[in-house]
Structure 1
């Protein structure tokens, strides 16, 4: 799998604009999915800058873990995303991502433990404020959809708020 990702990264680098920044790197933190949970997850965007007439083309992966009373929910997400800068306003750009979510849930009672697992749809969007060509910040939302019967969440759709810093090298 690592070899395939490396091959895709190298092949896409041929399309990158050689006069500008090459690497897109953005760590992120996530809050949610329930009120009062605080910082519950992390993620990392890694990709190429200035590819196919976009600001960045990247892979985003990470996880969120949430514990409440008897329930422990953990999901990992894997998404492909694109960042596109506005034509008239170069300071602001938008990101959009699509991918999958892998859910694992556990409910503990006094003497027994139940588990649920499932795979669902994951998407995200963010607004990016570019301070310089090499530095920006982003704020956005993740929307994850999973079959209600495969989760301990009260809804089949759960949303996280995220923020991150973007570095371009």
Structure 2
């Protein structure tokens, strides 16, 4: 319990929490390793249960299988001391509005300056896909460069959040 007479600058900050939109996340193992190094908490949010490491830092959150239940849980729990990992642009927008840092699985950050164009591009691509009757590609394969870029980006964000406390 913290002493109310202790100045805020001397009190320990809430730990950083990484919220993972986990159902299609290809970098969960990397998140666990980086979180351990930075002493961050991890919440792995999904519609179905799967294995997570046995750790005091990592907690599995299984939500109902209703549409957007995982997104809703993440958005409701996102805030200034959280990093959200998702490829979902609309979820990224909701989390940015809550003050969270947001990274895509490939390490690309979503921020206030880029989210508007990302939402617009998403809408255009949805229209294009609808007109192709199921023909088309999808995203390029996830590769080593994407994994490396993600690791660097997550490390950078966690270092920045740690510096804000000091």
More helix per residue? 2
TM-score above 0.5? no
TM-score if structure 1 supplies the norm length? 0.23
TM-score by length of 2: 0.24
